Amino acid sequence: MNRLRLTRWALCAAMLLSLGAPAAAQTPDAATLVASATARNGFGFDQGSARVRLSITGGDQAPKERVLRARTLRGGAGGPRTVLRFLSPSEVQGAAFLLVEQPGDAPDDMHLYLPALKRTRRIAGSQKDGSFMGTDFTYADLEYRDVKTAAYSPVTEASLDGVPCWRVEARPTAPAAGVSRVVLHIRRDNGLIQRSELHAADDRLLKRYTLRAFAALEGKPTPSEAEMHTVETGRTTRLTIDEVDTRAPLDPADFTPESLSRG
Amino acid sequence: MMALIVALATPSDMQVIARFEAAIEGDLAHDAADEDLLAASTRWTLGVETRLSAATLMHLEGALRGAGRTPSPGEWRGLAPARGRAEATAELGEAWLSHRRGPLRLDVGQLIVRWGVMDLQSPNDVLNPMDLRDGPPRAGATDVPVRPIPMLRASHVSDDLSLELVWQPFFVPHWGSATDSDWAATRLDPSLAGALSLTDLLVAPSASEALQPLLLTPDPPEAWPSNGSVAARVGTSGEGLDLHAQVSWAWDRTPTLRVDPELTALLVAAREDDLPTLLRLYPRVAPRLADGGRAVEARHERTLTAGVDAAMAVDAYVVKAEVAATPGRTLYDAALQPVRAPALSWAVGVDWLDDEALSATLELSGLTPLRDGEYLLFGRGWAQAGGVAQWRPSQVEGVEVTLALQHALTARAWAASPTVAWSPPRASADALRHTLAAGLLLLDGEAGTLMGAFGHNDAAHLRYTLSL
C-alpha cells in the first residue's frame, strides 16, 4: 500500500517536474507508469462501492446482461478484499463472490456463495485465469495480474485515435491463460489505460480492452465504461460502472466468507 | 405486509424472488405393489430481501405448493383400492431478520444455516432437517432439500477468526411421509408397509397428509426452552485454507422407535392376507389400543456431536475433508430394534471448475459405527462414492447438462440422476426466464440398502420453471 502511494506520488511529482522540461525527460519509467495505471481495482476505485453492469454481445450467442454491486476494502489482514453481489438476472441473483488478494505470487483466496445450495464454497485460486462470471474478463484481467508482475519494454510516445498515449509492452513473469505479451496504451492526460492488447506466445491477438468513457470521481479520472473483446469468439463484454461511492461505510466483517450469505 | 416492506425499502435495496415451478414425474415401471405411477406438483415461490436500515436486513419467503399422485387403474393399496391423492399447502420459507453491529451479527427467524464443506453428504450439516417428501433431490433441482426452522444465530467475524453460536428453541423433525408416499419411511421395511393399508382405510386422503408428521414423530420433545438445541462453530480462513471446528448438543432426528410387536405381526398378516393370524391378533390388539395403549413409542435422544472440516485450494482443485463424531447415534439393528451406538461420519472430496462450462464434484463419504453389529441401512459400516458434474456446452446456448451419481462401496447399490435443462435466450436481464428440464432418477440396490428399498421408484420427470 505504502509502495503504491509512493509510486503514485513519484508519478505525480515526475509529471509536475516534466512540465516545460525537454521531451526526453518527460518519458516516465515503465514500471512506475504501469503501477499508477493499475493501482485501482478493475472497477476503477481504490475503496468503495459501485454498481456494475456487464453486457455480453457478439459471437454466436444471444446478448446477456449481469448486474452486480462491487465493494472493495483495503486495509486489515491480507490484501484488498472485494465482494461482488449479483443483483440480476434471476439465475445469478443472490450469488456473492469474495476475492481476497494475496501479495506476490501467492494464490488469492476466493469464495462463492451459491443461493441454490445455501452454501459458501472455496474456489481454487488458479481459476482466476478463467472467465469472470461468464464474461470476456478473467479475474486476472480485473486485477491487472498480467501486467503488474512483468518485464517492461521502454516507454514510447504513441497516438491512439487522436488520443496522446504512452505505449509500453509488458511480458508477464508468470504467464497465465495463454497471455505472453500485453501491449498497453496509457493516456497521457489522465494515466488511465486507453487500450490493452493481450497476445499469445505466437503473437496472435487474444483479447483487446478498450476504455470507452471516464468520469471525474473526487477529482480523479475513473473509467465509467470499458469493453473487452475476445478475438476468437467475436464476443465483447461491455462493463458499465455507475453509482460509485468511495465514501460508502465499509465494515471488514462484510468481507469474510461467513458474511457472503447475508446481503 | 408486502406493501409495508416495499414502502420501507428503496428500490435499489430490495431484491424480489418470484418463481413458478410445475413438474410431472412418471414411474418408469409398475414393478411394486402400492405404487404411484404419476405425480404432479406446482410451486409458487414469492420472496423479498430488503435492507430496513444500514444495519438490518430482512428476508421473507413463502411458497404455495400443490401436489397430486395417482396409482395405476385397478391398483390396490393393502386392503383397499388405491386412490389418487391431492394436497395444497402454504409454506413459510426462510424468514429472518439480520442485525449487525461491527463484527457482531445476530440472525433471528426461520433460517437455513448449512455448516460443513461437502455438497452431497455433509457430516457437519446438522442444523436443519431434511425435506424428504419427494425422495432424493433430482440433479439440477432449483431448491436445496433442507427445511428452514426457527433459530437464533449470533456470529462474530474478524479478519482471521469466525465464531458462530446457534440456538434452536424447538425440535423440528425431518420432513417426510410415514406411509402416504412411494418415499414413505415404512417402505424401508416390507413388514411395516402394511401400515399403508391402515391409514388409507381409516382416514380421508386430505387427513392422511396431515397425519404423516404424527406417524413419523409421535412423541416429539416438548416445545420448551430447556429442550432447545445449541451448537457452536469456530473457523479460520485464508492463504488457501478454510478450517472449522464445531460442537452441537442437539436432538438426534432419528427416533428410537418401538412398535407394539403384536401390531407389527398384525400388519404383516394384513399385507400377506394371512386371515387366521389377522383374526387371532385383532381381538387382542384392538382393545389394547382402544384402552389408550400405545401402538408405537418413539423417543428422541439428545446427542453431543463434534466435528471438523477443511477445504484447501490446490492448483485448479479444492480438496475437502469433513468428520463428525458422536458418542451416541440412533441406529437400528437387523431385528429392527433401536440401538444407541457411538459413530463416526466422514467425507472427503474434491471440486473442480473449468471456466464456467464444466464443473465437477467428487465425494467419498461414509458412516462407521464404533460398536460391532449389523445395522439397518449401514451394515457393519457404510461407504459410498458420489459425484455431480455440470456441463454448459458452448455450442448449444442455454443448455445445461447435470449428472449426479452415487455408488455404494460396502454394498451393491447405486443411484443416478441425469438432467438436461434448457433456457431460451432473453432480450434483457430483466425479462422473465423460462427453463424446461427433463431427467431421470434411477436407483437400485440389494435388500437392506436405501437404494434397494426405494429401487422401484425409477422415474422420468419434466419440469418447467418461470422466474423473474
CA atoms within 13 A on the CB side of B405: 11
Question: Does the beta-carbon distance from A253 to B114 stay under 8 Å?
Answer: no
What pLDDT band is residue B347 in, cutting at 50, 70 and 90?
very high
Q: Does B237 touch chain A (CB under 8 A)?
A: yes
Which chain A residues are closer than 8 Å to B137 by Cβ?
none
For A142, the grid coordinates are 480485473
The answer to whether residue A178 is domain-embedded is yes
Crossing angle of the two packed helices B195-202 and B261-271, in degrees rounded to 10: 90
| Residue-level pLDDT at B209 | 64
Answer for the pair A229, A197: CB distance below 8 angstroms, yes or no. Answer: no
CA B255 to CA B358: how far, in whole Å? 41
Number of domains in chain A: 1
Q: What is the domain range of residue A176?
A: 10-255
Answer for the pair B135, B450: CB distance below 8 angstroms, yes or no. Answer: no
| Residue-level pLDDT at B107 | 96
CA B260 to CA B293: how far, in whole Å? 9
For A258, the grid coordinates are 461467513
pTM: 0.83
Question: Does the beta-carbon distance from A62 to B397 stay under 8 Å?
Answer: yes
The answer to whether residue B305 is domain-embedded is yes
Question: Does the beta-carbon distance from A61 to B467 stay under 8 Å?
Answer: no
Highest mean pLDDT among B40-49, B156-165, B294-303: B40-49
Interface of B with A in 313-332 (CB under 8 A): 313-318
SS3 A85: strand
The answer to whether residue A246 is domain-embedded is yes
The answer to whether residue A261 is domain-embedded is no
Number of domains in chain B: 1
CA B350 to CA A216: how far, in whole Å? 46
CA B308 to CA B318: how far, in whole Å? 17
The answer to whether residue B275 is domain-embedded is no
| Residue-level pLDDT at A18 | 38
Highest mean pLDDT among B13-22, B61-70, B81-90, B201-210: B61-70
The answer to whether residue B204 is domain-embedded is yes
CA A3 to CA A1: how far, in whole Å? 5
CB pairs < 8 Å spanning A and B: 142
CA-wise closest residue to B378 among B450, B434, B320: B450
| Residue-level pLDDT at B356 | 67
Of B51, B146, B159, the CB nearest to A118: B146
The answer to whether residue B336 is domain-embedded is yes
Which chain A residues are closer than 8 Å to B430 by Cβ?
88-89
Q: Does A130 touch chain B (CB under 8 A)?
A: yes
B195-246 per-position pLDDT tens digit: 555 555 555 656 666 666 666 777 788 888 888 999 999 999 888 899 999 9
The answer to whether residue B373 is domain-embedded is yes
CA B320 to CA B312: how far, in whole Å? 6
Minimum Cα–Cα distance from B164: chain A residue: A258
CA B228 to CA B226: how far, in whole Å? 5
Q: Does B112 touch chain A (CB under 8 A)?
A: yes
Minimum Cα–Cα distance from B144: chain A residue: A117
Interface of A with B in 43-72 (CB under 8 A): 51, 60-67
One-letter amino acid identity for B191?
S
The answer to whether residue B410 is domain-embedded is yes
Question: Does the beta-carbon distance from A258 to B155 stay under 8 Å?
Answer: yes
- CATH at B247: 2.40.160
B36-74 per-position pLDDT tens digit: 889 999 999 999 999 899 889 999 999 999 998 888 777
Burial class (CB in 10 A: 0-12, 13-18, 19+), B42: middle
What residues contact residue B187 under an 8 Å CB cut-off, 6+ apart?
B193, B453, B454
For A120, the grid coordinates are 459458501
Q: Does B17 touch chain A (CB under 8 A)?
A: yes
B386-429 per-position pLDDT tens digit: 999 999 887 788 899 999 999 999 999 999 999 999 998 877 77
CA-wise closest residue to B171 among B220, B226, B130, B111: B220
CA-wise closest residue to A126 among B311, B354, B315, B356: B315
The answer to whether residue A262 is domain-embedded is no
Which CA distances in Å does B118 have to A31, A119, A121, B15, B318?
Answer: 44, 9, 9, 28, 11
Minimum Cα–Cα distance from A233: chain B residue: B394
Q: Does B428 touch chain A (CB under 8 A)?
A: yes
Omega within 30 of 0 (cis) for the link into A175: no
Answer for the pair A44, A52: CB distance below 8 angstroms, yes or no. Answer: no
State the best of B13, B320, B355, B419 to mutate against chain A, taking most chain A CBs within 10 Å: B355
Question: Does the beta-carbon distance from A89 to B239 stay under 8 Å?
Answer: no
- CATH at A137: 2.50.20.10
Which chain A residues are closer than 8 Å to B57 by Cβ?
262-263
Neighbours of A21 (CB within 10 A): 10
| Residue-level pLDDT at B395 | 79
Q: What is the domain range of residue B458?
A: 95-260+295-467
Q: Is the pLDDT of residue A24 over 60?
A: no
The answer to whether residue B102 is domain-embedded is yes
Which of the two residues, A64 and B11, has the higher pLDDT score?
A: A64
CA A165 to CA A206: how far, in whole Å? 22
Continuous H helices in B92-221: 195-202, 205-216
What is the residue whose three cell numbers read 486476472?
Answer: A140
Which chain B residues are closer than 8 Å to A124 by Cβ?
313-318, 351-353
For B214, the grid coordinates are 404424527
ipTM of the complex: 0.85
Element (H, E) at B280: helix B275-290
The answer to whether residue B55 is domain-embedded is no
* Percent of chain B clearing pLDDT 90 (strictly above): 49
CA-wise closest residue to B353 among B385, B403, B384, B388: B388
Of B102, B423, B431, the CB nearest to A253: B102
CA-only gyration radius of chain A, Å: 18
One-letter amino acid identity for B246?
Q
The answer to whether residue A241 is domain-embedded is yes
| Residue-level pLDDT at A22 | 38
